[in-house]
Amino acid sequence: MKGKKIIPLLLLLTVMVLAFAMPAFAEEGGDEYRSNVYGTFWALLPPIIAISLALITKEVYSSLFIGIICGALLHANFNLLNAYTAMFSEGFIAALADSWNVGILIFLVILGAIVSLMNKAGGSAAYG
C-alpha cells in the first residue's frame, strides 16, 4: 500500500524538478560568478527536494546528498563538470579547510562517541 502512495509522489517530484530545471535569466555584470538562479525562487529547490525526500523515504543522508547534487547543478547552470567542481573543490574541500568547521566536526564525532558509550553501558535503558 505504501509503494502505491510513493510512486505518485516521486512522479510529482520528477515533474517539479523538470519544470524547475528551466534556467532563469539573470543580469550579467560584475567579476564575480553568479548562477542564473541566484536570488530567485529556484534557489529554494535543493532544500525543498532534500527535505521532501527525507520525509518520504526516511533516508536522511541520501536525501541530503541528492539535495547537494541538485544545488551544485543549479549553481553550475546544469554543466556537469562545473557542478562536480563546485560540489567538491568549492564545497566539501573549502568547508573542511576552515578550522572552525573542522572543530565543529571533531566536537560532533566526540559527542557521538560519548552517546554510543552511554548506550552500550545501559544509560538509555530507562528511556526505551
User: Has residue 68 got a pLDDT over 80?
Assistant: yes
Q: Which amino acid is at 56?
A: I
Please, which residues have CB within 8 angstroms of residue 6's CB and are 6 or more apart in sequence?
A: 56, 57
Provide Rg for the chain, Cα atoms: 19
Per-residue model confidence (pLDDT) at position 71: 92
What per-residue confidence (pLDDT) applies to 3? Answer: 57
In the chain, pLDDT over 90 holds for what percent of residues? Answer: 34
Q: 100: alpha, beta or left, given left = phi > 0 and alpha = psi -120 to 50?
A: alpha
Cut 0.75: pTM above it: no
Domain locations in the chain as residue ranges: 2-96, 98-128
* pLDDT tens, position by position, 78-115: 999 989 888 888 888 888 888 898 999 999 999 999 99
Residue of 106, 75, 77, 99 lying closest to 88 (CA atoms): 75
Note the pLDDT of residue 26.
45
